[in-house]
A = this chain, B = another copy of it.
Amino acid sequence: MNTYERIDRDLSDRDFTVVGKSVKRSDTLEKVTGTARYAGDVALPGMLHAKMKRSNIAHARIRSIDTSKALALKGVKAVLTHEDVPRVLHAGSPHPRSASVTKDQYILDDRVRYWGEGVAAVAAVSEEIAERAVALIEVEYEPLPGLFTIEAASVPGAPPIHENGLDRNQVLPPVFVTRGDVDRGFAEADLILEREYDLGRPTPAYMEPNVCVSQWDGNGKLTMWTSTQSAFMVRGTLAEVLGVPLNKVRVIVDHMGGGFGAKQDLFQNEFLCALLARQTGRPVKMEFSRKETFLGGRSRHPGKIWLKQGFTKDGRIVAREARVTFNSGAYGSHGPGVTNVGTAALTSLYRCENVRLEGRCIYTNSPIAGAFRGYGVVQTYYALDLMMDEAAEKLGFDPAEFKLMNAVREGDIAPSGHPIVGHGLGDCIRRVMEETNWHELRRREKPETVKRRGIGIGCEMHGSSAYPGIKEQGNAIVKMNEDGTVTLITGTAGLGTGAHTALSQIVAEELGVPFEAVSVVQGDTDIVPWDIGAFASHTTYLGGRAAQLAAADVRRQVLEHAAPMLKAEPENLAIRDGFVVVTNGSNRSIRLSEAVGPQRGMPAVQLVGVGTYMPTKSYSFAAHFAEVEVDTETGEVAVLQVVPVHEIGRVIHPIAAAGQIEGGIQQGIGHTLSEDYVIDLTDGRSLNPSFVDYKMPLSMDMPSIRTIILETAPDPGGPYGAKGVGEDPIIAIGPAIANAIYDAIGVRFHHYPITPEQVLNALKSKANETRQ
C-alpha cells in the first residue's frame, strides 16, 4: 500500500482551515459513475462521424488523390483533401511563446512527412461508413527519401524535410548556453567523464484518445468540444486558421482524460472536424482510435546527449560540457521550447560554474515529438544524474552524499535566470537518506543470487510556469451568492489532476467558507476568463494564485459591506468559518449570509471579484529513492519500492499531490524500463501503435510508494507559497532506477528504456569481460 506523509513546517503564523487538507474531490463521483461528460460523450442531433485517411508512406509528394469512390458511397457527406482546405501555416501547437513552437504545419499538405500523417478526411453518417470511405480514397504518391534518424537527417546536404532556411534539417538554430570557463575547468579536473546517452521515444499514452466535436451555428460561430489542455490557445489557432474572429469560436472542455503536455497541440482533427461541419452544415465528431492516437499524437523527444564533466578529488564539478540533440520527428511542435529548456536545465541541479552547452533539434521522417511532462528535462537530467552516480563511485563518495554536496541551493541561479529560493533539493536528499536508512542499506550484503537487489537515488528540479519576460497569465472571477456560497469561474483546465478542487480550496480558505460552499465553472472559452492552459506545472501556482486574488477581491468587498453593520473598520474584520468577525478585541460577529445576503428580499449587492496573475517562476525539487530487483536469468527489472521526497512549497491537497507523484513515478518507470514507441528504420512504419505492443507498467507492476512532501521553501508568488508538482515526479525516478540497477548488477546503462534483453546482453558481456 502506498502512503504519504507531509512535513508541515511553520510556514506562517496563519492557521489554515481548508488549504492543506485532503478534502473529497468534487469530481470523483461523476467520474467513477461515468456521468462526467468528456468530449467523446458529446452526441448531437444529426451528428456526422469523421475519419482521416492516413499515409502509408513516410515521405512523399502527393501526386493525386481520387475521392470519387468515397464520395459515391451512400452515407458519405463530404471528403476533404489538401485541395479543399485553407492553406495557412500554423504551429500545430498554439503555444503562446512563439519561440517555443514552430509554424510548419498545414491542415493538409500536398506532401507527407511521416508514416500515418493525415492526407484526407471523410464525414459520413456513421463511423463505419466513414472508415469504408477512407479505404476507398486512392492516393498516388511520389516517394521522397525517408530520413528516419537524427544521423541520417542531419548530415550536411541531407534533403530538407521543411524549407525553413536552416541546413541539416534543423528545426531551430542551435541553442548555446555558456557560463564561466569550461576549458579551465577541465584543466583543473582530477576526473573527467565523457559519455553519450541515448534516449527512447515514450509517449504520454493518455487514457482519452484525441476527440473533438464541431458545430457551427447560423451566425457563423463554431463550437468545438475537444480534449485539450489549453482551450484558449485552441480557440486562437482555430480562429486564425479558419479566418474568423475570436468571438466566433467557442471551445468547450468539460472533462479530460489526461494530456501530459501533448494535448497542448492541435492534431489535424480539430481543423478537419470544423471544416467538415462547416461544409456539411451538420455537427461532426472525429475520434481517434488508439492506433491513431499513437500515429497522430506526440511523443517525448528521443535524442542523444553527449555529456562531459570534470570533477575534483574533493567532489566538486569544475566543468560541464554537453551536446543535446533531439529528434523532432516530422514537425517542429515544441521542439524549440524543449531544446531550450532541456539544454538550459544542465546549468543547474548540480552546481557547476563552468558550463558550455549546445542544443539541437532535428526534423526526421518519424512520428512527431512534442510537449510531454518533463519537457526536455527528463532526458538531460537522466544523463546528468547517471554521470553523478558514476563520478561519485570513481571519486570514492557515497552517491547520495555526493549529490547533496553539489545540490543547487538558495541564491544559485536557476535555468530560468531566477535565484533559487531555499534549499529544497538538499532537504529532499537528506530526507531520503534519513527515511530509507540509506547508509545502512548501502552496507547491505549483495549475494550473487539469481535475483539481485540494488538501491539508487535520482534528483531533479523543475520550474512552475514559463520563462521570465513572458506574460504568462492566469485569470479568475469569483462570484459570491446571497447566502455566502461562492462560484469560482476559472480558465484553468482540468486534466484530471484535481486542479479545480485545489483552486476551490484556495478560494474557500481566502473567503473563510467551507470547501463545499465553493462551486466551479470552467472549461468554456465563452464563459471563463482567458487562461494560458494547464501545463508547465503551473495550474495551482498560476491559476490558484489568480483564484486567490479574485477571492481576496470579493473578501475586500464583503468586509467593506459588513463594516457598517459591525460598526468597525474593514481592516479590523475577517471572515472565519462563515462569520464576519471583528478582530480587534471585540467578539462581535455576523453570519456571512447576513453581510452579503438579502435585505428586504434582495442581495445587498452581487459581489464579483476578478483576479489576474502574471507569475515569474518557482522551482520545486525532488529526490527519489528506488530499490530494484534484477532477475539475472530473464533480465527483468522489478522496482520494489520508491521513496519520493518532494519539496513543493505549500501543499494545497496532500492526497492529490501524492497522486501526481505516484502517477509520475508510474510513467517514469515506464520510460525507464519498457515504454518505447518504435518505427521500422527501413520505411518509417510505426511498429507498436497499440497497448498490446507498447508496454506500460500496469498497477500490478507498481512498487510500493512512500511519498514524503516537504514544505520547506515556499514560493512568495504562489498561493500561500504553493509551487508546482505536475512534472517533477517523472524526472527523478529514471536515474534512481538506472542507478539502482548499477547497484544491483554492476552495469551502467546510458540509455532508456533498459529492456530485459539489454540487461541480459549486458550481463553476458560483463561475464565475458570478467572471464577474459
Binding site for B on A (CB under 8 A): 26, 29-30, 33, 35, 95-98, 217-219, 221, 236, 239, 245-248, 469-473, 475, 477, 479, 481-483, 485-487, 489, 516-519, 521, 526-527, 529-530, 532, 598-606, 608, 610, 612, 614
Contact = CB atoms under 8 A, between A and B. Distances in A.
Given A33-B218, A527-B521, A247 B481 contact: yes
A610 to B, nearest CB: 5
Contacts of A473: 602-603, 605-606
Q: How often does this chain occur in the complex, in copies? A: 2
Given A219-B29, A247-B486, A608 B529 contact: yes
A599 B486 CA distance: 33
Contacts of A517: 245, 247
A236 B600 CA distance: 14
**Chain A binding site: helix, strand, loop or mixed by DSSP?**
loop
A96 B602 contact: yes
Given A218-B35, A246-B482, A481-B246, A519 B526 contact: yes
A526 B530 contact: no
Contacts of A218: 29-30, 33, 35
10 contacts: A96-B602, A245-B516, A246-B482, A246-B483, A246-B485, A247-B485, A489-B527, A521-B527, A530-B606, A605-B612
Contacts of A603: 471, 473, 530
Contacts of A98: 600-601
Contacts of A469: 600
Contacts of A599: 471
A170 to B, nearest CB: 22
A102 B255 CA distance: 43
Contacts of A479: 529-530
A248 B518 CA distance: 10
A482 B236 contact: yes
A95 B598 CA distance: 12
A524 B623 CA distance: 47
Contact of A606 (B239, B475, B598, B601): B475
Contact of A521 (B30, B526, B605, B606): B526
Top 8 nearest A-B pairs by Cβ distance? A29-B218, A247-B485, A96-B601, A530-B606, A246-B481, A247-B519, A471-B602, A475-B606
A248 B514 CA distance: 14
A484 to B, nearest CB: 8
Given A98-B601, A479-B530, 9 more contacts: A29-B219, A96-B602, A98-B600, A247-B486, A248-B485, A470-B602, A471-B599, A519-B526, A529-B608
Given A246-B485, A471-B604, A601-B98, A30 B610 contact: no
A521 B526 CA distance: 7
A217 B30 contact: yes
Nearest to A553: B610
A98 B602 CA distance: 9
B245 A485 contact: yes
Given A475-B606, A529-B608, A606-B529, A245 B483 contact: yes
Nearest to A235: B481
A519 to B, nearest CB: 4
A282 to B, nearest CB: 11
Contact of A96 (B248, B471, B481, B598): B598
Contacts of A247: 481, 485-487, 517-519
Given A600-B98, A600-B471, A605-B612, A219 B482 contact: no
Contacts of A601: 95-98
Nearest to A27: B219
A530 B603 CA distance: 9
Given A245-B485, A518-B247, A606-B529, A470 B600 contact: yes
A264 to B, nearest CB: 13
A487 B526 contact: yes
A598 B481 CA distance: 34
A323 B97 CA distance: 74
